[in-house]
């Protein structure tokens, strides 16, 4: 895996939170920031996929791919959040056909 150096300035209050995270997770600064960034991006991917699913812009399978979760995990999240995603029989048919490939 290739790593790229990224530089960012953060406010004092945010850095204090990062330091607390570092201590609790027993990680160095770079590892802490990578972990927080990865978790934040995962959250963003999931939130985006759920929004697009609810808007009818993606299928259930596509939302699972986008959020990098299994269809079963996504089904649990959708149920927990009460998201209505079935807009037509076409969506269900498409998802079933893709799942059977």
pLDDT digit string (tens) for 47-90?
999 999 999 898 888 999 999 999 899 999 999 998 887 766 67
Q: What is the pLDDT of residue 91?
A: 65
Q: Tokens 């699913």 sit at which residue?
A: 53
Confidence at 6, pLDDT banded by 50, 70, 90? confident
Residue 53 near residue 60 (C-beta atoms within 8 A): yes
Higher pLDDT, 95 or 84: 84
Quick check: 39 pLDDT over 90?
Answer: yes
């Amino acid at each position: 895996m290739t790593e790229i150096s990224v530089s960012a300035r953060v406010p004092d209050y945010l850095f204090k939170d990062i330091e607390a995270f570092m201590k609790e997770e027993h990680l160095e600064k770079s590892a802490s920031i990578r972990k927080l960034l990865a978790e934040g991006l995962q959250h963003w991917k999931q939130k985006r996929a759920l929004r697009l699913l609810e808007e009818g812009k993606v299928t259930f399978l596509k939302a699972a791919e986008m959020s990098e979760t299994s269809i079963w995990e996504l089904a649990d999240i959708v149920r927990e959040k009460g998201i209505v995603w079935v807009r037509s029989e076409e969506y269900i048919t498409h998802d079933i056909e893709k799942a059977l490939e």
